[in-house]
């Protein structure tokens, strides 16, 4: 299917915002300049620019023109099951994952309750720091029942998607349950996310279920409050 010109221009402008070509508070070229640059009409450019204004990436200022805003990332995983990488790519943002820790532990009371397993059962503990472009966005600590996933330690989770790995083991995630709190960042979290200690963060508890409501994931995610917002559909 052919992509309309205004959408192509929107995508190109958004990429330039995300990669720093246009930085926060920069004034982008005028509609006339952009129409000459892209070889299209001014209404086509206006439609592309207005879309980015509506999405919060740009702001029109009297006497100054259209400037780049410091934007928050719209997180939609609260009402869809989608991987972090897929969601970021769909938004034109380059994702990156650093694995901070991957180990085998004995489940404590909180983990055993959320995975519906006996206390002290062996679980994998996977700790990841995930980026949107160059910005650290979220820390995720995930617990997975070891007996269901032999040799999981051989997977490189800096490049492999957790939900894809579950699917390869024939345990696809089919439903999730999430609880949201807002808390203050501690010293470790503030260092990892490059924010101030006591800054607000979104604190998610997630249970992921495969067929027959079997819990195979318990994750604790800490999202920066300054560059994220969340959409809920009821």
Q: Judge contact between 81 and 162, C-beta under 8 A.
A: no
Per-residue pLDDT tens digits for 12-52: 999 898 888 988 888 999 999 999 999 999 999 999 999 88
Highest mean pLDDT among 84-88, 111-115, 135-139, 195-199: 111-115
Q: Which residues contact 5 (CB under 8 A, 6 or more apart)?
A: 38, 40, 44
Per-residue pLDDT tens digits for 139-161: 999 999 999 998 899 999 999 99
Q: What is the DSSP letter of 74?
A: E
- Cα–Cα nearest to 22, from 54, 65, 63: 65
β-strands 215-224, 122-132 pairing: unpaired
> What's the alpha-carbon Rg for the chain, to the nearest Å?
21
pLDDT for residue 81 is more than 80: no
* Spans of all domains in the chain: 5-68, 73-230
State residue 76's pLDDT score: 59
Q: Judge contact between 97 and 131, C-beta under 8 A.
A: yes
CATH of the structural domain 73-230, one choice from 3.20.20.70, 3.40.50.2300, 3.90.1150.10, 3.40.1410.10: 3.40.1410.10
At 131, which helix (H) or strand (E)? Answer: strand 122-132
CATH of the structural domain 5-68, one choice from 3.30.365.10, 3.40.1410.10, 1.10.10.10, 3.50.50.60: 1.10.10.10
Residue 84, both tokens: 């972090």
β-strands 58-61, 65-68 pairing: antiparallel
Q: What are φ and ψ of residue 159, in 5° steps?
A: -125, -25
């Amino acid at each position: 299917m052919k992509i309309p010109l205004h959408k192509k221009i929107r995508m190109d402008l958004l990429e330039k915002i995300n990669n720093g070509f246009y930085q926060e508070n920069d004034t982008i070229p005028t509609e006339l300049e952009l129409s000459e640059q892209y070889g299209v009409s001014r209404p086509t450019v206006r439609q592309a620019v207005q879309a980015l204004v509506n999405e919060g990436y740009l702001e029109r200022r009297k006497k100054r023109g259209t400037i780049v805003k410091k934007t928050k990332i719209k997180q939609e995983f609260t009402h869809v099951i989608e991987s972090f990488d897929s969601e970021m790519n769909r938004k034109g943002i380059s994702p990156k994952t650093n694995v901070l820790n991957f180990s085998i532990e004995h489940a404590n009371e909180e983990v055993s309750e959320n995975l519906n397993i006996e206390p002290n059962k062996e679980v994998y503990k996977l700790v990841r720091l995930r980026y949107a472009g160059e910005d650290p966005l979220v820390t995720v600590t995930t617990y997975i029942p070891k007996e269901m996933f032999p040799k999981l330690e051989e997977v490189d989770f800096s490049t492999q998607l957790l939900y894809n790995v579950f699917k390869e083991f024939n345990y696809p995630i089919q439903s999730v349950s999430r609880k949201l709190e807002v808390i203050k960042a501690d010293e470790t979290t503030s260092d990892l996310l490059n924010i101030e200690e006591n800054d607000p963060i979104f604190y998610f508890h997630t249970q992921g279920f495969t067929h027959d409501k079997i819990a195979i994931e318990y994750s604790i995610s800490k999202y920066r409050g300054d560059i994220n917002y969340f959409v809920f559909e009821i």
